C-alpha cells in the first residue's frame, strides 16, 4: 500500500490519508480523482482494518463503478469483496428490496424504464380524456420527474399548484400515474431514490441499520447530485460522520437534469468541521490550455476557487480562427485535421466539440468532402436523426410513390391511426398483384381486406398527391416547408413541448438551411429530383467502421470525462455558446461558462477555438457576435491560426482538397427589427406572436443592440425571446 502511495502527489496523499470526518476533495479536471478514490478505499481497508462490508461508494455510472471495483480488487485482491460500490439507483434498489414493503409495495417490485413510463402516462392521459397535444407525455413526465427530484410527492404537488389550471391537471395525472405504478407493484427511476429517502426518514430502525453498517461513505461527482440524492447521502452518512465527497464545482453542467451545484458549494456550511483538499495538479493538459481554462472560469462568482497547473510544460498556444461563415469554419477544421494526420497518421487524436447538435451538419459535410473519417459520439449523424430521415422519406415518396420503404416509414408518422396490421395488409395485396403499396392505398376501397382502414389510408394518399402537385409549382424551400406543415409533422413535434422536441425542431430548421443553400447554388436547377440526389450522396457516405481510425464529434455535454490530444471547440458566438436562452439569467451564464471550462480541459496537447462573423442556422443568416468566452481567454495564451480576412489558414495549401465557397447570391436573411423597435417593448405590454399567440411582457433586459424579453403567453406559459427576431406585435387594450 505504501509503495502505491509513492506514486501520488502531496495533495492526493493527503486526501487518501484523511479518513476521519467530513472531507471535500475539490478535484480539478485531469487531477486523478479516481486514483484518489480507489487508493483511499484501499487505504481504509488496509490501514484502518475496516471490513469492505462497512464501506459505501456511490458513483453516477455503472462504468465508473465497475472501474473502481476492478482497480480496488487489483490492489487488495479478495479483500475487496462485500463492499457496496454502485450508482445511486443500484444502491437504492438494494435497500428497497429489503424494506419497500413498509410503503405497501411488494419486495418483488418491477422497475419501469423510460419507455414503460411513457406508455403508462399515455394511458393516464387517455383515462382523463385529455388531448395529448395539450399535455405531451414527455413534458408531463419531465414535470413529474422534477417534482420527485425536489422530494415533492403527488398530493404535495397538487396542493402547491392549487389555482394553476395546467399544473393542477398535471397534478391529477401525477396521482393517477403513481396509483397505476403501485397497482402494478412498479417504480420508476426517480422513485428508487425518493422512496428510499422516504423510508429512511420515517423509519428510524431502518435508518439505524444502514447507518450502523456504513462506517465510511464516499461519493463521486458530487457536483452532479440533485436534492433527493443529497438527502440520501446525508441520511446514510450521519451515523458515522465519515463522508468523503469528490467533485468539481467548475464542472457542474447538468442543471437540466436536476443537478444542484449548491450541494457542493454549501458542503462546508452543511459540515462546518469539514476539511477541503484541492487537487490542482493536472496530468492531462499543457499549461497554456490550463491557463485558458483558469482564465475563463475565474469569471464565475459561484465557485470555491482553484487554479490548475501541470508539469507537462507550456505546450502550444491556443489556436484561434475567425471564419467568414460556418462553411469556412468547417473547412478550416478539416484542413487542420488533415495536417495533423499527415504528421502523425492518426485521425482519432482529434475531437470536434460543439454546443448544439445542429452545428454538426456543416462540419460533417466538410469532413466528408475532405475524405476524413469521423463518427458522432453520443448522438447521430445529422442525416441519420429520426426527424431528418422522416422528412427525407416524405420527399422521396412524393417524388417516387413506388418507394415502399420510405412509405412504410411515414404512413403513420405523425400518428394517423394507421396501424401495423393495415400496413401489412397493403403490403400483401401489393405483393400479390405486382403493385406498389401506394397504388394499393390510393384505391383502398376496391380491396375488401382494406375496408376498415380505407378512409384513413386514402386520405394519406390524397395528401401525398396534393403535395406532388405543389412540388411542381413552388420553389424547393417553399415546398419543403409546406411538406413539414401539411403533413402535420412539425406540429406534432412542437406539441410535445419538451427539451427533446425543441432539439428536434432545431434540427428541422437546420434542414431548412440545407434546402436554402441548395436553392441558392447556381449549379443546380432547383428540382426535387436534384435535391434528393444531393442528399443521398451526403447521407449515404457512411462506410467507416467505428473501430477504424476516425475523428470524433460530439456535444460538449457528451465529452465530459473524456480527453483528446487535439480538440476543436466550434461556434464560440453569443446566442450559440452561450445560448440565447441563457443570456438573461446569470446562473445560466455561469453554467454555460462551466460547460466551456469542461470543453477546454478535454484538450491534452492542442486546442482550437473557432467563431464566425456570420452564421446560417435554423434557416436564417445573421451576423455573429464573438462569445464572451472567446474574449475571456487572454491574448497572451493564444495565437491566430489565420482568418478569412488574411486568406487561407496556415498550411492550408498542403491539404490538396478543394472546397467550393457557399453561394452567397441567394442567401436567406431575415431583417431584424431596428434597435429602437426592439427596445420599445417594456414590462406590462400585451403582445401577439405569430406562433405563441397573445402574451404579456414580464421583463425586458437590454442585450447589446438587442433586448431579451420574458413573456407570459396565454397558450404555453413563459418564454424568453430576442426582441429583434420575435416579430411581436403590440396589442392595444
Residues with a catalytic annotation lie at 33-34, 220-221, 251, 602
Contacts of residue 180, defined as CB under 8 A and 6 or more positions apart, other chains included, come to 120, 123, 124
Which among 565, 553, 608 has a CA at the least distance from the CA of 343?
Answer: 565
- Residues 501, 300: Cα–Cα separation, whole Å: 31
Integer CA distances (angstroms), 366 to 209, 325, 331, 371, 558, in order = 60, 13, 6, 9, 22
The H or E element that residue 541 is part of is none
Measured in whole angstroms, how far is the alpha carbon of residue 111 from the centre of its chain? 24
Task: Give buried/exposed letters for 551-565 (b at 16+ CB in 10 A, else e).
Answer: bbbbbbbbbbeebbe
* CA atoms in the 13 A half-sphere facing the CB of 16: 26
Taking the alpha carbons at both ends of the chain, their separation in whole angstroms is 77
- Residues 381, 637: Cα–Cα separation, whole Å: 34
Contacts for 176-182: CB closer than 8 Å, 24+ residues apart:
176/124, 176/127, 176/128, 177/120, 177/121, 177/124, 177/144, 178/153, 178/154, 180/120, 180/123, 180/124, 181/112, 181/120, 182/104, 182/105
CB 247 within 8 A of CB 221: yes
- Residues 308, 298: Cα–Cα separation, whole Å: 11
Integer CA distances (angstroms), 42 to 84, 110, 401, in order = 14, 35, 66
* CA atoms in the 13 A half-sphere facing the CB of 49: 0
3-state secondary structure of 318: strand
- Residues 19, 242: Cα–Cα separation, whole Å: 7
- Residues 520, 475: Cα–Cα separation, whole Å: 11
3-state secondary structure of 716: coil
CB atoms within 10 A of CB 336: 25
Which grid cell sits at 636?
497572451
- Residues 716, 700: Cα–Cα separation, whole Å: 19
* CA atoms in the 13 A half-sphere facing the CB of 324: 13
Contacts of residue 429, defined as CB under 8 A and 6 or more positions apart, other chains included, come to 435, 440, 447, 449, 450
CB 193 within 8 A of CB 232: yes
CB 601 within 8 A of CB 289: yes
3-state secondary structure 645-704: HHCCCCCHHHCCCCCCCCCCCCCCCCCCCCHHHHCCCCCCCEEEECCCEEEEEEEEEEEC
- Residues 266, 253: Cα–Cα separation, whole Å: 17
Beta-sheet strand order (sheet of 729-730): 717-722, 706-713, 693-703, 686-689, 729-730
Rama region for 567: left / alpha / beta (φ>0; ψ in -120 to 50; rest)? beta
- Residues 251, 225: Cα–Cα separation, whole Å: 12
* CA atoms in the 13 A half-sphere facing the CB of 466: 10
Amino acid at each position: 500500500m505504501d509503495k502505491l502511495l509513492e506514486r501520488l502527489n502531496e495533495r492526493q496523499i493527503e486526501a487518501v490519508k484523511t479518513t476521519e470526518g467530513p472531507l471535500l476533495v475539490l478535484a480539478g479536471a485531469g487531477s486523478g480523482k479516481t486514483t484518489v478514490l480507489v487508493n483511499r478505499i484501499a487505504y481504509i481497508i488496509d490501514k484502518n482494518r475496516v471490513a469492505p462490508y462497512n464501506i459505501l461508494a456511490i458513483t453516477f455510472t455503472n462504468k465508473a463503478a465497475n472501474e473502481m471495483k476492478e482497480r480496488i480488487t487489483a490492489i487488495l485482491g479478495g479483500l475487496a469483496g462485500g463492499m457496496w460500490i454502485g450508482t445511486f439507483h443500484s444502491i437504492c434498489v438494494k435497500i428497497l428490496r429489503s424494506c419497500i414493503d413498509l410503503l405497501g409495495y411488494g419486495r418483488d417490485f418491477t422497475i419501469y424504464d423510460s419507455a414503460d413510463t411513457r406508455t403508462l402516462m399515455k394511458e393516464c392521459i387517455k383515462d382523463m380524456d385529455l388531448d395529448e397535444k395539450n399535455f405531451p407525455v414527455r413534458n408531463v413526465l419531465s414535470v413529474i420527474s422534477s417534482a420527485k427530484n425536489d422530494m415533492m410527492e403527488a398530493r404535495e404537488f397538487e396542493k402547491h399548484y392549487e389555482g394553476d389550471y395546467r399544473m393542477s391537471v398535471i397534478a391529477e395525472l401525477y396521482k393517477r400515474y403513481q396509483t397505476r405504478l403501485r397497482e402494478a407493484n412498479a417504480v420508476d427511476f426517480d422513485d428508487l431514490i425518493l422512496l428510499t429517502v422516504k423510508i429512511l426518514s420515517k423509519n428510524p430502525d431502518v435508518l439505524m441499520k444502514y447507518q450502523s453498517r456504513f462506517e465510511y461513505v464516499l461519493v463521486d461527482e458530487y457536483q452532479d447530485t440533485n436534492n433527493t440524492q443529497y438527502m440520501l447521502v446525508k441520511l446514510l452518512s450521519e451515523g458515522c460522520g465519515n463522508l468523503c465527497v469528490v467533485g468539481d464545482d467548475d464542472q457542474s453542467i447538468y442543471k437540466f437534469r436536476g443537478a444542484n451545484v449548491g450541494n457542493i458549494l454549501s458542503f462546508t456550511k452543511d459540515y462546518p468541521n469539514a476539511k477541503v483538499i484541492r487537487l490542482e495538479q493536472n496530468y492531462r493538459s499543457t499549461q497554456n490550455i490550463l491557463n485558458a481554462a483558469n482564465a475563463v472560469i475565474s469569471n464565475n462568482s459561484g465557485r470555491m476557487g482553484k487554479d490548475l497547473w501541470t508539469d507537462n510544460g507550456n505546450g502550444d498556444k491556443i489556436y484561434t480562427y475567425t471564419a467568414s461563415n460556418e462553411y469556412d469554419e468547417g473547412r478550416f477544421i478539416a484542413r487542420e485535421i488533415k495536417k495533423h494526420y499527415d504528421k502523425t497518421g492518426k485521425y482519432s487524436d482529434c475531437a470536434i466539440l460543439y454546443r448544439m447538435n445542429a452545428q454538426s451538419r456543416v462540419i460533417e459535410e466538410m469532413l466528408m468532402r475532405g475524405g476524413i473519417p469521423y463518427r458522432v459520439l453520443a448522438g447521430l449523424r445529422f442525416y441519420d436523426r429520426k426527424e431528418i430521415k422522416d422528412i427525407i422519406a416524405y420527399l422521396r415518396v412524393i417524388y417516387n410513390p413506388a418507394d415502399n420503404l420510405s412509405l412504410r416509414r411515414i404512413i403513420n408518422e405523425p400518428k394517423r391511426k394507421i396501424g401495423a396490421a393495415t400496413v401489412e395488409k397493403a403490403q400483401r395485396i401489393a405483393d400479390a398483384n405486382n403493385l406498389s403499396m401506394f397504388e394499393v392505398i390510393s384505391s383502398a376501397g376496391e380491396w375488401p381486406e382494406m375496408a376498415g382502414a380505407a378512409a384513413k389510408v386514402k386520405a394519406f394518399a390524397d395528401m401525398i398527391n396534393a403535395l406532388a402537385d405543389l412540388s411542381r409549382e413552388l420553389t424547393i424551400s417553399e415546398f419543403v416547408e409546406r411538406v413539414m406543415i401539411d403533413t402535420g409533422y412539425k406540429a406534432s413535434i412542437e406539441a410535445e413541448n419538451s427539451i427533446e422536441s425543441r432539439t428536434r425542431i432545431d434540427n428541422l430548421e437546420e434542414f431548412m438551411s440545407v434546402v436554402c443553400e441548395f436553392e441558392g447554388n447556381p449549379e443546380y436547377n432547383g428540382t426535387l429530383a436534384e435535391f434528393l440526389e444531393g442528399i443521398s450522396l451526403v447521407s449515404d457516405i457512411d462506410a467507416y467502421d467505428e473501430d477504424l481510425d476516425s475523428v470524433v464529434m460530439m456535444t460538449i455535454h457528451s465529452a465530459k470525462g473524456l480527453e483528446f490530444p487535439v480538440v476543436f471547440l466550434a461556434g464560440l458566438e453569443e446566442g450559440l455558446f452561450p445560448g440565447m436562452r441563457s443570456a438573461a439569467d446569470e446562473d445560466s451564464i455561469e453554467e454555460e461558462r462551466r460547460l466551456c471550462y469542461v470543453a477546454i480541459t478535454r484538450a491534452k496537447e492542442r486546442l482550437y477555438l473557432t467563431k464566425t462573423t456570420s452564421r446560417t442556422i435554423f434557416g436564417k443568416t445573421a451576423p455573429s457576435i464573438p462569445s464572451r468566452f472567446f474574449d475571456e481567454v487572454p491574448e497572451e495564451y493564444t495565437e491566430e491560426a489565420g482568418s478569412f480576412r488574411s486568406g487561407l489558414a496556415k498550411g492550408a495549401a498542403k491539404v490538396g482538397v478543394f472546397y467550393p465557397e457557399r453561394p452567397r447570391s441567394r442567401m436567406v436573411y431575415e431583417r431584424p427589427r431596428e434597435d429602437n423597435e426592439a427596445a420599445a417593448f417594456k414590462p406590462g405590454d400585451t403582445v401577439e406572436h405569430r406562433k405563441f399567440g397573445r402574451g404579456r411582457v414580464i421583463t425586458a433586459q437590454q442585450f447589446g443592440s438587442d433586448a431579451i424579453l420574458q413573456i407570459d403567453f396565454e397558450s404555453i406559459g413563459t418564454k424568453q425571446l430576442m426582441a429583434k427576431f420575435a416579430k411581436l406585435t403590440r396589442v392595444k387594450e
